[in-house]
């Protein structure tokens, strides 16, 4: 319960932090540049830059995926501050990118990055930043030259000033770091839960969260701190493959969470099959560098929508069938579903400090993994409580099978189990264990004279008297009827006789009356000390023989079986109360 409450507080903290970050974002002065409206030219890689009058400003570029594409953006009238402009490019599937700033006085400045070497130009959120140097005149236009660009439809380009750019990158880095931290915690927790509870759902969800951590770290370019050579195309390809794999893992976790019996088999299999197809398509799609890439992306996007609908149907069906986990999982899945709907219906590329739809998905994934961790925790806690209750019931039943229902002492079975370990140490040093059999004298006459209820009270009172002596050296049991058994350890023969005689005297002096007439009760005790590795059956026979002698010699006495004495009266040492 504590863990569930803590996770809920964590969700609230993340939500409040996100709102605070949004509120702290300065009013955007960012200018988005549409690649579809730019003047363009296509040339062979390695040719000199195209002259300004050879740019085409109508139509769309083609045949550029294996060539050099130049895009010119006219900045006249945008009112950019002199020397304070930052150009941000959000796509990285190309071999080489050159950004050239052209000023109103005709001066030029350019910088170049290549796939595998972004220098100091990479920024959080999969962005590349070029800062225009300070000049007296404003910018006239910007030219981007890209070698082997995968698709202009994937380009996101914007201009902003340095102050806002710095604030955006700081907020973006903090947001991505928070989301990745939550995902990493969720992955670790779910893997631990999978080991503890042996539930497949926790493993699949942990694998999904770990996959999202890898995707988020690569998309955000945080991995370039360690592996700068991965900048560019390699990272973009890995992101594509990981995003498709994440859908497969998430679907497996959701379907298995409410199975078996929670959803129709066909519906669950359809969701899993769709997810597997998406995961398999992610591999070839990751390596596509030419052709209708946007069409391929739309196909996978459509399959993802279908997969989400199938998963939603599984959760709704499980909910209607009374599945206890379905409600929590449906709430968790509603977050990425709403995020996907928002991405499809609203242009989110300019939101969240340039992080756009990717950051929105990362936030939704972090919230989902925390929410589902809460659901898994509650499920695991409920199952653990049920398991503990079942174990407690089994333990209680087992204990009841060992106890005498009237007196609460061990019965014959419980006594055998308790003394088994003692007798197993047959060769240990010290005095040999001794078995005492205590039998109430003339007990049948008590039942016949004043009733069985009074006889039961006598048995209960004597049991309480014996129970007060029970400790690690003394084990007490009721063997049945009016006979009790005691196994003592660590006592010499003299100490055993004194112990037994004190017990006999205490029973004889106790008042067992239930009415005005006094009721005196006496007991006979037979004792046998263990010989070597003698088993319990032989020990019991000798103690029973000693008890028989005590009865025959007049009752209300203690008889100790003498080791090695011949059978008969001479084999016992007796203490009598008469």
The token duo for 348 is 């989110």
Element (H, E) at 55: none
Q: What CA–CA distance (Å, rounded) separates 481 from 441?
A: 12
Q: For residue 364, what are the CA distances in angstroms to 7, 18, 57, 186, 212? A: 16, 12, 40, 13, 11
Rounded to a whole number, what is the distance in angstroms from the first to the last CA of the chain?
66
- Provide the pLDDT for residue 111: 92
Instruction: Work out the burial of residue 516: count CB atoms within 10 Å of its CB; fewer than 13 is exposed, 13-18 middle, 19 or more buried.
Output: exposed
Nearest one of 429, 433, 427, 431 to 415, comparing CA atoms: 433
How does strand 122-123 pair with strand 85-89? Answer: unpaired
Nearest one of 507, 436, 439 to 475, comparing CA atoms: 436
Q: What CA–CA distance (Å, rounded) separates 255 from 273?
A: 11
Q: What CA–CA distance (Å, rounded) separates 395 from 405?
A: 16
- Provide the pLDDT for residue 566: 44
- Provide the pLDDT for residue 573: 55
Q: What CA–CA distance (Å, rounded) separates 425 from 534?
A: 11
Q: What CA–CA distance (Å, rounded) separates 305 from 173?
A: 29
**433 secondary structure, DSSP code:** P
Return the ∠ at Cα 484 (arms to 482 and 488), rounded to 5°.
165
- Provide the pLDDT for residue 571: 47
Instruction: Work out the burial of residue 238: count CB atoms within 10 Å of its CB; fewer than 13 is exposed, 13-18 middle, 19 or more buried.
Output: middle
- Provide the pLDDT for residue 25: 47
Q: What CA–CA distance (Å, rounded) separates 198 from 380?
A: 10
Block residue for tokens 């002492």? 409
Low-confidence ranges of the chain (pLDDT < 70): 1-29, 50-53, 77-83, 91-92, 259-263, 291, 324-325, 328, 337, 340-356, 380, 425-428, 515-516, 563-578
Q: How far is CA 220 from the centre of its chain?
A: 26
pLDDT digits (tens, 9 = 90+) for 189-246: 888 877 877 777 778 888 888 998 998 899 888 888 888 888 888 888 888 889 889 8
- Provide the pLDDT for residue 228: 86
The token duo for 284 is 């070839």
Q: What CA–CA distance (Å, rounded) separates 130 from 230?
A: 19
The token duo for 559 is 């008889």
Q: Which residues pair with 139 in a beta bridge?
A: 103
* Residue 382 C-beta-side C-alpha neighbours within 13 Å: 8
Q: How far is CA 31 from the centre of its chain?
A: 45
- Provide the pLDDT for residue 139: 87
Nearest one of 449, 539, 444, 432 to 496, comparing CA atoms: 432
Q: Which value, in Å, is the radius of gyration of the alpha carbons in the chain?
A: 43
> Dihedrals φ, ψ of 59, to 5°?
85, -170
Domains of the chain: 31-164 (2.60.40.2380), 412-576 (3.30.70.270)
Taking a C-beta distance cutoff of 8 angstroms, is the pair 532, 426 a contact?
A: yes
Nearest one of 552, 540, 546 to 565, comparing CA atoms: 546
- Provide the pLDDT for residue 236: 85
The token duo for 424 is 């197993």
Please tell me the pTM assigned to this model.
Answer: 0.63
Instruction: Work out the burial of residue 203: count CB atoms within 10 Å of its CB; fewer than 13 is exposed, 13-18 middle, 19 or more buried.
Output: buried
């Amino acid at each position: 319960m504590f863990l569930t409450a803590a996770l809920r507080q964590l969700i609230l903290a993340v939500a409040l932090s996100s709102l605070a970050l949004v509120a702290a974002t300065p009013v955007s002065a960012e200018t988005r540049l549409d690649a579809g409206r730019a003047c363009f030219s296509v040339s062979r890689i390695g040719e000199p830059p195209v002259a300004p009058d050879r740019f085409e400003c109508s139509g769309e570029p083609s045949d550029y995926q294996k060539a050099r594409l130049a895009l010119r953006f006219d900045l006249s009238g945008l009112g950019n501050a002199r020397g304070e402009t930052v150009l941000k490019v959000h796509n990285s599937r190309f071999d080489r990118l050159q950004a050239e700033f052209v000023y109103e006085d005709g001066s030029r400045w350019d910088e170049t990055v290549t796939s595998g070497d972004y220098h100091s130009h990479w920024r959080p959120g999969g962005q590349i930043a070029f800062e225009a140097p300070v000049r007296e005149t404003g910018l006239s236009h910007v030219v981007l030259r890209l070698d082997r660009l995968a698709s202009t439809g994937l380009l996101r380009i914007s201009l902003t000033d340095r102050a806002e750019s710095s604030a955006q990158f700081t907020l973006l880095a903090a947001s991505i770091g928070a989301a990745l931290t939550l995902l990493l915690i969720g992955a670790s927790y779910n893997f631990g839960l999978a080991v503890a509870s042996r539930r497949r759902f926790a493993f699949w969800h942990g694998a999904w969260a770990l996959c999202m951590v890898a995707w988020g770290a690569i998309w955000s370019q945080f991995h370039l701190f360690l592996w700068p050579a991965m900048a560019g195309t390699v990272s973009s390809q890995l992101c594509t493959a990981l995003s498709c794999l994440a859908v497969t893992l998430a679907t497996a976790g959701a379907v298995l969470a409410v199975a078996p019996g929670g959803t129709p088999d066909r519906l669950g299999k359809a969701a899993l099959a769709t997810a597997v197809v998406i995961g398999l398509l992610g591999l070839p799609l990751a390596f596509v560098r030419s052709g209708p890439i946007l069409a391929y992306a739309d196909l996978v996007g459509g399959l993802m929508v279908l997969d989400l609908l199938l998963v939603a149907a599984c959760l709704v069906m499980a909910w209607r069938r009374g599945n206890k986990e379905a409600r929590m999982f449906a709430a968790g899945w509603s977050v990425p579903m709403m995020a996907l709907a928002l991405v499809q219906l609203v242009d989110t590329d300019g939101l969240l400090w340039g992080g756009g739809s990717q950051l929105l998905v990362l936030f939704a994934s972090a919230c989902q993994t925390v929410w589902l961790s809460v659901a898994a925790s509650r499920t695991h806690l409920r199952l653990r409580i049920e398991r503990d209750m079942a174990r407690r019931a089994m333990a209680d039943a087992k204990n009841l099978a060992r106890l005498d229902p009237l007196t609460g002492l061990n019965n014959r079975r419980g006594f055998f189990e308790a003394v088994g370990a003692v007798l197993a140490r047959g060769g240990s040093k010290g005095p040999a264990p001794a078995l005492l059999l205590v039998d109430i004298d003339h007990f049948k006459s008590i039942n016949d004279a004043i009733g069985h209820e009074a006889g039961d009270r006598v048995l209960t009172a004597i049991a309480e008297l014996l129970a007060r002596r029970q400790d690690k050296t003394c084990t007490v049991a009721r063997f049945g009827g009016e006979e009790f058994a005691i196994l003592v350890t660590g006592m010499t023969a003299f100490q055993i006789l004194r112990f037994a005689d004190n017990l006999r005297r205490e029973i004889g002096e106790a008042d067992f009356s239930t009415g005005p007439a006094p009721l005196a009760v006496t007991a006979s005790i037979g004792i046998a000390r263990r010989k070597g590795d003698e088993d319990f059956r032989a020990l019991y026979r000798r103690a029973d023989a000693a008890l028989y002698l005590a009865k025959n010699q007049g009752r209300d006495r203690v008889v100790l079986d003498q080791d090695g004495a011949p059978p008969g009266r001479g084999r016992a040492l007796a203490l009598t109360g008469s």
